[in-house]
Amino acid sequence: MAERGGERPPIPEALPFPVVDAHTHLDACGAKDAADVTAMVDRAASAGVTRVVTVADDLAAAQWAAQAATWDPRVFAAVAVHPTRTAAFTDADRAVVEELAHQPRVVAVGETGLDYYWDYSPPEAQQEAFRWHIDLAKRVGKPLMIHDRDAHEDIFRILAEEGSPEKVIFHCFSGDAAFASRCVARGYVLSFAGTVTFRNAHALRDALAVIPSYQLLVETDAPFLTPHPFRGRPNEPYCAAYTLAALAQFRGVPTETLAAEVTATAERVFDLPSVTAR
């Protein structure tokens, strides 16, 4: 949290229907133990964000996320090794991720994929690890949560070559309307973070318009990507409420309607129990 500038944004008025933060990093937000996790999800719940999926980017984070999901019933986990961490992805590492992926409160394999923006892992290593995570998701029967940065075509190619899992999520979707349409046609689910609210995010908002609500999720990717007008300040799961309200405005639908629709999508994709309005 200290790495982000300024204070946390104010907690907004609660959404009229509870939503799921489909991708956050509670540990990177500053949570260390069960008390921290409970306090963080309490803040989220006060804004109508009643469940969160905390996501790993390395082995230590994967082990922490799986444990954190046992500390509070509102928390679920996704486990994988981030593509920028795959330069040395050993068999022992894979065994740890696979064991965690079988745990009942781990609801997705992720985040995995390709990142050609940062020069931390060779593309070949990233692609090999991505293929392994695809296979793992299929073997454990859980969604594949994809990190895609400057790698649209290779992501699509590898998914086609390996065969997509039944459920595929593009976390923090970063494509345009044409790419979104291609994803929708393949049945992929697209998750939008605070980036869609940024002033220069015209292509993202165009993409949003072509996505059916049953293929749409909302996320924070906290502590990063805090929605406008709080960009650059520390993000937390409760800020998904700001993004959800913005998504509804961009789509021209009532906030309550979109909240109910994306919650139904999250429940289906992550196999979560259904909730009803407050």
The whole-angstrom separation of Cα 19 and Cα 272 is: 12
Give the burial string for 122-149 (b: 16+ CB within 10 Å, else e).
eeebbbebbebbbebbbebebbbbbbbb
For the annotated binding site for a divalent metal cation, the residues are: 23, 25, 111, 147, 171, 221
Phi, psi torsion values for 165, nearest 5 degrees: -60, 165
The whole-angstrom separation of Cα 211 and Cα 265 is: 12
| CB-CB contact of 73 with 111 (8 Å) | no
For the annotated binding site, the residues are: 23, 25, 111, 147, 171, 221
